[in-house]
Amino acid sequence: MRALTDWGGELAEHHQEQDPAESGNGRPPSSSGSLWPIGFALGIVLILIGVVLNWVVFGIGVGITGLCGMLWVWDSTRELRKPSAPVEEVEEEPEVEEVQERYGRNVFLERTTLGLGAVIGGVITVPVIGFAVAPTFIGQGDKEINLGPLTNFPKDKFMIATFLSNKETGNVSRRTAFIRNNGTTADGLPSFTIISSRCVHLGCPTQPGGPKDESAKKELTTVTGPVALVPVTPSGFSCPCHGGAYDTEGRRISGPPVRDLDRYSYKIAYGNLVLGERFSVGNVTGEGANAQITTYTRFDPGEHVDGPEAWLYPASPNGI
């Protein structure tokens, strides 16, 4: 029994005196984990959510991803940055030179596997995200529409303008706007109220609540396609689908719509009225040339443009 005890003690003592360099990589393995990969993954998730939901979330995701990514790389290369232990010279056998490994084979394989995984993930993920997200931001703006001479729009009168937003796609791009010539502003600039007919509840076409003079209808063809103009005297605009109602400034009066009717920007070019981008409206105070309009990037029907509810909807890629 004593012989076995002595043998076990000698074995334990020999194990304690063993040079750590003989264990493979010259350092005891570390069992501590890192939370940076989790933070990096969380940042990627916030980026993807932010692209769809809100640019603020997107920015937070970019920040978390960048910070955690750098800390992850710094933590992963900690062993590589440590100076290697000096190799003691053996006087008995000077002809034999031992080359000490800076890190073991298992560490090399681990780093290689992570690197290849990152490259493969990037090659697969980036094109998928690009094809899924890029169409949302490319070619989404409205083209300019020439509605013809200003003489077709009498002062203080509404005209129903029907036109093609893209003559290359034909009737599928047919749109309608309610246009009133307000005369001039206090600065002497031409003023027009140009309201989109698209209801901001679910997108149904609103109708003017007043008589139309079909006998005075004008049809013309401009450089951007055919245009039809019909005089109308509206008391307001209403949606036949779900009962949304608006006044002559496009302000919501009643019904399920969540905001005022969208409007068109415009410009005067060579004596012609030219429609520009469509934008969303949060609030309108005043009327005609004196109206003060709170404008927003164009949002889809049913989406709030202000208040806490606006955070619940995707970011709009359309700007003016």
Query: 118-170: per-residue pLDDT in tens?
Result: 777 777 777 777 666 666 556 566 788 999 999 999 999 999 999 998 888 87
pLDDT for 30 beyond 50: no
Model confidence at 41, pLDDT cuts 50, 70, 90, reads confident
CA distance 275 to 46: 37
Mean pLDDT across 218-230: 92
pLDDT value of residue 74: 82
- For residues 209 and 234, the answer to whether their CB atoms sit within 8 Å is yes
Q: Which residue has the higher pLDDT, 51 or 38?
A: 38
CA-based end-to-end distance of the chain: 92
pLDDT for 1 beyond 70: no
| Eight-state DSSP code of residue 26 | S
- For residues 263 and 194, the answer to whether their CB atoms sit within 8 Å is yes
- Residue 312 has, within 13 A of its CA and on its CB side, a CA count of 6
pLDDT for 28 beyond 70: no
Q: Which residue has the higher pLDDT, 50 or 294?
A: 294
pLDDT for 11 beyond 70: no
Name the nearest CA neighbour of 20 among 82, 105, 81, 84: 84
pLDDT value of residue 250: 93
Mean pLDDT across 256-285: 92
pLDDT value of residue 150: 92
**pLDDT > 90 fraction of the chain, expressed in percent and rounded:** 36
The structure's pTM equals 0.61
Pinpoint the alpha helices (H) of 77-104: 78-81
The Cβ of residue 197 has, within 10 Å, a number of other Cβ atoms equal to 20
- For residues 258 and 304, the answer to whether their CB atoms sit within 8 Å is yes
- Strands 237-238 and 245-246, bridge-based pairing: antiparallel
pLDDT value of residue 85: 58
Q: What is the dihedral of CA 233, 234, 239, 240, to 10 degrees?
A: -60
Report whether CATH 2.102.10.10 matches the domain 145-312: yes
For the record, the structure tokens of 15 come out as 């194990």
For the record, the structure tokens of 219 come out as 């049809």
Q: Which residue has the higher pLDDT, 134 or 251?
A: 251
pLDDT value of residue 3: 47
Name the nearest CA neighbour of 151 among 249, 250, 214, 220: 220
Mean pLDDT across 218-237: 93
**pLDDT > 70 fraction of the chain, expressed in percent and rounded:** 74
pLDDT digits (tens, 9 = 90+) for 82-115: 666 565 655 555 555 555 556 667 777 777 777 7
- Mean pLDDT computed over every residue of the chain: 79
pLDDT for 5 beyond 80: no
For the record, the structure tokens of 315 come out as 């970011």
- Strands 292-296 and 272-285, bridge-based pairing: antiparallel
Q: Which residue has the higher pLDDT, 52 or 239?
A: 239
Q: Which residue has the higher pLDDT, 10 or 98?
A: 98
pLDDT for 20 beyond 80: no
The Cβ of residue 278 has, within 10 Å, a number of other Cβ atoms equal to 20
